[in-house]
Chain A
Amino acid sequence: MRCDVVVVGAGPGGSMAAKAAAMAGLDVIMLEKRQEIGDPVRCAEGVSKASLKEFLPSIDPRWIAADVKGAKLYAPDGTCLTMSEDKAGAEVGYVLERKVFDRSLAAEAAKSGARIMVKTRATGLLFKDGKICGVKTIRFGEALDIESHIVIGADGVESKVGRWAGIDTTLKPKDISTCAQFLVEDKSIDSNYCEFYFGNRIAPGGYIWVFPKGDNLANVGIGIVGSKSEPGLPTKLITNFVQERFPKGKAVEMVVGGDPVAGVMETTTADGVMLVGDAAHHTDALTGGGILNAMRAGVIAGEVAAKAIAAGDVTKAGLKEYEDRWRAAISRNLERSYEYKEFLLKLTDEDLNKLLGPLAAEDISKMDLRGMIRLMFKLNPKLLWELRQLVV
């Protein structure tokens, strides 16, 4: 089997890449090893409204489980800060129904001309005269080779495409957030706000989220850095939290997953290969949010694939535009978030209370995360001294 571009993985990154490449006139095959795209979910499903609309100007109501007003941040001592939805970052605004959303994106790619192959797992790269020329797959238990000019690795946190191409994407324990989440049904769920709870007792090196999904449902989850975790700890901690916060709550679904919180990779391309989304560590290290960055990188990769093939140069040099464009779009934010994350890991609960407490007396409702950090710096210059270069 032959095509111009093989996209490995049908998450938001893969589907956007497949759609962009197909719209540019390429013959595209998108592989998904699961039999159902989007299921099981490994996500809290929060996205910023404005950013989502950048990619998808017409929002299908079936994608949206909840439309929230803002975020509430809880310090370890219970102090609560409220931020408005448009300022609270890339994960607050809509709470998606990713089972529906991911399938819709894949269907859009198909409508644009991409072929979709589910239950088809990439197992390695094909090489001809030392050059990458496609992927080896197992499809319904049978080996199938697919030749292509370019392979786009959109294979998520468990990515292997990069490693097969010589790009080391292995995550260190301190650079992965290990997560567990319940979909909880409870009358006390506030459908207007996404909630974030901080503290080393409840979530060492991470945080707990409560993202409402309508109908008294919410994704109640935890992410903690691997270096502070131990076997099964995320599940234990989130079970404790649900019992305390929603004593009458009923868990109707469970989600687990890993999220790269690793900062910017040195390279995300090799001859004939581009990595997008979680596979390229495009996730925000502070929040763990990666849907929008995966989509953004996917679009760029699809467009660059078309140009490189037209120019007859799919080498790493020929794919440089991909590196340049995604870095220009998101690398500054990724770098900054990584430094914030590294700093926050060092804080005790007392430090966190000192940082967040004084903000309760300020009007932060219209402030974005950077504005808030700037204000925290003003109020706590000593504690935040290490971050001074990020605050200016």
Chain B
Amino acid sequence: MLDANRYKCCYCGAYVSVCPTCSSMELMETWIEVSQGCKDCSVCTKICPVGALEAEV
């Protein structure tokens, strides 16, 4: 699963737009949610402008 560092996150929502599974990522104000639907494709990790998303190994 994806690891979202909420202390780094600047809650821009960019990652949602590249996520191939529409329902697995969501931004609510300053809260980023990654659900079980995440396919670990890591596309969003490259997009995050602050490096707050990491694929868990």
Contacts and interface: CB of A to CB of B under 8 A. Distances in A.
B46 A231 contact: yes
Contacts of A121: 28
Interface of A: 33-35, 40, 42, 121, 156-160, 163-164, 169-173, 176, 178-180, 226, 229-235, 254-258, 260
A169 B17 CA distance: 8
B6 to A, nearest CB: 14
Contacts of A230: 46
A178 B14 contact: yes
Contact of B14 (A35, A169, A235, A257): A257
Contact of A226 (B28, B47, B54): B47
B46 A226 contact: yes
A248 B18 CA distance: 37
B10 interface: yes
Nearest to A180: B49
B36 to A, nearest CB: 17
Given A34-B29, A163-B22, 17 more contacts: A35-B29, A160-B16, A170-B17, A171-B18, A173-B46, A176-B18, A178-B47, A179-B49, A180-B50, A226-B46, A229-B46, A231-B54, A232-B52, A234-B49, A256-B14, A256-B49, A257-B12
B22 A257 contact: no
Contacts of A33: 28-29
18 contacts: A33-B29, A121-B28, A158-B27, A164-B22, A169-B17, A170-B20, A171-B17, A173-B18, A226-B47, A229-B47, A231-B46, A232-B49, A233-B51, A235-B50, A254-B10, A256-B12, A257-B13, A258-B17
A235 B12 CA distance: 13
B48 interface: yes
Across the A-B interface, the 7 shortest Cβ-Cβ residue pairs = A232-B51, A258-B14, A158-B13, A158-B16, A231-B51, A234-B49, A163-B22
Contacts of A234: 49-50
Contacts of B19: 170
Contacts, number: 91
Interface residues of B, number: 26
Contact of B49 (A34, A172, A235, A260): A235
Interface of B: 10-20, 22, 27-29, 43, 45-54
B38 to A, nearest CB: 14
Contacts of A156: 13
Contacts of A34: 29
Contacts of B47: 173, 176, 178, 226, 229, 258
A72 B43 CA distance: 34
Given A157-B14, A158-B13, A173 B54 contact: no
* Residue among B11, B27, B46, B54 with most chain A CB within 10 A: B46
Given A35-B29, A163-B22, A231 B45 contact: yes
Contacts of A256: 10, 12, 14, 49-50
Nearest to A224: B49
Nearest to A40: B11
A27 B50 CA distance: 41
A157 B52 CA distance: 18
Contacts of B46: 173, 226, 229-231
Contacts of A254: 10
Nearest to B13: A158
Contacts of A163: 22
Contacts of A232: 48-52
A178 B47 CA distance: 6
Contacts of B16: 157-158, 160
Nearest to A229: B46
A147 B6 CA distance: 35
B11 to A, nearest CB: 7
A170 B50 contact: no
